[in-house]
Amino acid sequence: MHIHILGICGTFMGGIALLARACGHRVTGCDANVYPPMSTQLEAQGIDLVEGYDAAQAGIAPDLFVIGNAISRGNPLLEEILDKGLPYVSGPQWLAENVLRDKWVLAVAGTHGKTTTSSMLAWILEHAGMNPGFLIGGVPQDFAVSARLTSRPFFVIEADEYDTAFCDKRSKFVHYNARTAILNNLEFDHADIFSDLAAIETQFHHFVRILPKSGLIVANAAEASLKRVLERGCWTPVEWFGSDAGWGLGELGEDGACAVSFAGGEIGQLRLALAGSHNRTNALAAVAAARHAGVPPAAALEALACFGGVKRRLEVRGASGNVTVYDDFAHHPTAISATIAGLRQRIDGGRILAVLEPRSNTMKLGVMKAQLPDSLRGAELTFCYAAGLGWDVRGALQPLGERAQVFEDIEALVAAVSAAARGGDHVLVMSNGDFCGVHVRLLEALAAR
């Protein structure tokens, strides 16, 4: 079968392309921006790419068009597909019908930590010899690819609450036929499609409603929003983490380990190279979910001790003049705060210079601007890139005083960071996009001083 994917260079749809290719299909695709690293990853798999969405692509005449959720009505190719009555399906629906139907799906949902927790869970299963398939919204260092199909029954998926496609406004995760589900946390996000937190809670309950009674929900006991979701009705056993009655973590010891307990009894020690309490909590959820799939906690903890992390999660991009530059995907105030705290725990002295691009749809709308200053207080200096934003970034960051600077020009931002940085500093770049290649620009500017 020939499949043509609209929006193929997005992380999720790129993963769909790799899985479709592994299923033996001929795969082509198009996107508005075809550039590395996704373009090179796809082309290496023999997937031909087209720049743009011109209606003439309908003449490629594939057996099926798979439509990404970035494609809206008015898109020339989509309009041609609809006018000609050509066969199409959303990415999540194609995945459910062609990959996940006969799998034991372990789905990781939540506002934050989905990529890291999914990667941890996939690595635990891999380390246990279970050879899982997976589709993750990032690239785990231990696998070097974001998606994989195997003949084994287990499949780990990052379960996003964002909507499915132009033709299906349900959250993606309702398609995934999950048996084991992690509900990591739940805050307001995606202000472009959800009116408030209650609307997102409703989508999470749609997900809960279709989980089997033979399945398992691993849920964060610290989240009142998740408790509200489950109070609406739950037909699946629940194990809480972050609770004395369920899965718990002890204090971090001087040796970098902390005790893991279940039902009040200690079951092992967690040692994790990743910094931050949020990552230890992610790991705890992964241990609980893996246990449901048959991995003993001791084996899961052994796997996590050698877990390599995920690209773009406190990833060191380079150093120059004793200044280290990091890349991180954080773009929600809660994630920004947790990332800064995690880096602070990792480093031995030195200042943190936060370099932020508010790029997500929620941030572009200014919905989180009141929370932004507090999320950045853990950094000594903040440099914010505000090009194209329709709200007063300078006014929002005023509580930080002289510790925050705002720029509309990327070169001016790079020059300011380079001028401010001194030996021993840590430059933390945070964005959910490519941020104009700022990491390379910063390293070049630091080297040229």
One domain, residues 247 and 396:
no
One domain, residues 157 and 31:
no
Asked whether the beta carbons of 152 and 189 are under 8 A apart, the reply is no
Name residues whose C-beta falls within 8 Å of residue 8's C-beta, 6 or more positions apart in sequence: 14, 17, 29, 30, 31, 38, 42, 47, 49, 68
DSSP three-state, residue 1? coil
One domain, residues 296 and 186:
yes
Residue 299, pLDDT score:
97
Residue 191, pLDDT score:
65
Q: What percent of the chain has pLDDT over 70?
A: 98
CATH number at residue 70: 3.40.50.720
One domain, residues 69 and 181:
no
- Sort strands 163-165 and 168-171 into parallel, antiparallel or unpaired: antiparallel
Its domain, for residue 34, covers 2-90
Round to whole Å and give the CA distance between 438 and 356: 10
Q: Which of 350, 310, 347, 351 is nearest to 330 (CA)?
A: 310
One domain, residues 248 and 349:
no
Q: What domain count does the chain have?
A: 3
The answer to whether residue 347 scores a pLDDT higher than 90 is no
- pLDDT band of residue 37 (cuts 50, 70, 90) is low
Q: Which of 36, 115, 31 is nearest to 71 (CA)?
A: 31
Q: What is the mean pLDDT of residues 363-373?
A: 80
One domain, residues 154 and 279:
yes
One domain, residues 75 and 217:
no
Sign of CA dihedral 294, 211, 334, 263: negative
One domain, residues 293 and 436:
no
309: in domain: no
One domain, residues 133 and 274:
yes
CA neighbours within 13 Å on the CB side: how many for 67?
Answer: 23
Given strand 315-320, what is the order of strands in its sheet?
315-320, 323-328, 426-430, 352-356, 381-385, 404-407
- Which tens digit of pLDDT belongs to each residue from 55-72? 999 999 999 999 999 999
- Which tens digit of pLDDT belongs to each residue from 284-299? 999 999 999 999 999 9
Asked which of 90, 124, 152 is the last residue of a domain, the reply is 90
DSSP three-state, residue 112? coil
One domain, residues 126 and 71:
no
95: in domain: no
CATH number at residue 272: 3.40.1190.10
One domain, residues 113 and 256:
yes
One domain, residues 251 and 372:
no
Round to whole Å and give the CA distance between 64 and 69: 16
133: in domain: yes
372: in domain: yes
- pLDDT band of residue 142 (cuts 50, 70, 90) is confident
Cα 2 to its chain centre, rounded Å, is 29
Asked which of 37, 61, 90 is the last residue of a domain, the reply is 90
CATH number at residue 329: 3.90.190.20
